Amino acid sequence: MSAIDLLTGWIAAALFGVAIVSSLVNRWRLSAGRSFAMGWFRAHNWLGAVATVAGIAHCLSSVTRSTLPAGEEVGIWAGAAAVGLLVLTAFAGSGLSGAKRDARRRIRRNHVATMFAVLAVGIVHTALNGPFAGR
């Protein structure tokens, strides 16, 4: 695995995590009776978009034609699934701003559900192919 593979993967993971936190800041603000902050919302959008691009770059840069052990192969497929779900999450999120009011709840629910799916398969990918995988 090259330095670019490692860098793009960890950048995608870090930005994805920070994008989640930036969204939660607005949730916490609203639950505390404060106003919605457009700055945090814009940060969430940009961080999510850049995380998606970094995830795609990681996927494309780390593809090899070598045969891997079964566990690592499963990890690669989990990583590919995480990138696909990350793209779906980004599309769902990008559709929220222009959506009709009655459709926003469903779109937001799909956005959050795919975010949890990205987390789950991303953890599997990292466990099977990351720095602590048994090699």
What confidence tens digit (pLDDT) does each residue in 12-59 have?
A: 999 999 999 999 999 999 999 999 899 999 999 999 999 999 999 999
For the residues 62-79, what does the mean pLDDT come to? Answer: 84
Q: How far apart are CA 134 and CA 75, in angstroms?
A: 12
Answer whether 86's CB lies under 8 Å from 59's CB. no
Buried b (16+ CB within 10 A) or exposed e, 66-91: eeeeeebeebbebbebbbbbbbbbbe
**Is the model's pLDDT at 135 over the cut of 60?**
no
Let me know if residue 134 belongs to a domain: no
For residue 68, the model assigns a pLDDT of 79
Structure tokens given for 131: 């720095």
Residue 74: domain span = 3-129
pTM: 0.86
In a domain, 35, yes or no: yes
- Predicted pLDDT of residue 71: 87
Mean pLDDT of the 61-77 span: 83
Number of domains forming the structure of the chain: 1
Task: Classify residue 135: in a domain, yes or no.
Answer: no
